[in-house]
Amino acid sequence: MTGYSKQVRILAAIDCIIFGFDGSELKLLLIQRGFEPERGKWSLMGGFVQEGEAFDQATARILKQLTGLKEVYMEQLHTFGNPRRDPIERTISVVYFALIDIDKYKKQLNEDYHAEWFSLKEIPDLIFDHNEMVKMARSRVCYKAAFHPILFELLPEKFTLPQLQNLYDGIYDTEFDKRNFSKRVMTTGLLIKQKEKEKSGSKKGAFYYKLDKRKYNANFHSFLNFISNPNILRDI
């Protein structure tokens, strides 16, 4: 047998969702689509899976080709298969997402497809079902942030409490009460206060903190108790 008879051939595509934190705000990386339909409109990084190529391989190739980014850990999110999602030809899209520190990758980013970071509060209308993809990915990130300590990976070695709060504000699309947020964070016992202050934001400045990695690795659940329920976070 050389194939399955009387079966419809369907294209397989990959779409990449890259969230990034720049130290003060959570953002989404977008490009301008380089071909029809919807040429020139804002889009996620996407492309077709080639013959003999695994999905993970296709994801790395497409992301590097369209943005210059490489060695980004991508997690599979969902497969979008609405028969009418692409107006040209039946195409299923396997979506991957990542959450990165923008500063660590800014030297890799190229401008071939006008890759640009957008604030999550100012995302333009995207092609096809890409807005739906972003919404689902953001929900997944919220869940992961509540049950796994992924967000500290986005912070510099020394960070301020306002920086940490800005990250959580962006993830959960809310604005936590500053006093209660700081109090809850400090009760975890996982942060070490530094003598230096960051003074660019105000005359008074904000003290830097470091994560106590020894305590964190041994008992990060003390921090997860702080974020174990996203609904509680929204009420802070």
Instruction: State how far Cα 122 lies from the chain centre.
Output: 15
Please tell me what DSSP assigns to residue 25: -
Number of H helices, E strands in the chain: 8, 10
Q: Which domains are assigned to the chain?
A: 11-147 (3.90.79.10), 156-234 (1.10.10.10)
- Report whether the peptide linkage leading into residue 162 is cis, meaning its omega lies within 30 degrees of zero: no
DSSP H/E element including 194: strand 191-198
Both structure tokens of 198 = 């960051």
Query: What is the residue type of 78?
Result: H
* Cα–Cα dist 206/199, whole Å: 7
Nearest residue to 61 (alpha-carbon basis) of 48, 75, 42: 48
- Half-sphere CA count of 136, side-chain side, radius 13 A: 17
Q: What is the pLDDT along the chain (236 residues), one digit of tens a residue?
A: 577 888 988 999 999 999 999 888 899 999 999 889 999 999 999 999 999 999 999 999 999 999 999 999 999 999 999 999 999 999 999 999 999 999 989 899 988 889 999 999 899 999 999 999 999 999 999 888 777 667 777 888 899 999 988 888 888 888 888 888 888 888 888 889 999 988 776 667 899 999 888 877 777 666 665 554 545 444 44
Listing DSSP states for 72-133 in one string gives ---EEEEEE--TTSSSSS-EEEEEEEEEEEHHHHTTT---TT--EEEEGGGPPPPSTTHHHH
Residue 10, pLDDT score: 95
Q: Which two tokens stand for residue 207?
A: 């003290």
The reported pTM is: 0.85
CA atoms within 13 A on the CB side of 213: 4
Question: Distance between alpha carbon 132 and the CA centroid of its chain, in Å?
Answer: 15
Whole-number pLDDT of residue 188: 80
Residue among 51, 128, 148, 145 nearest 85 (CA): 128
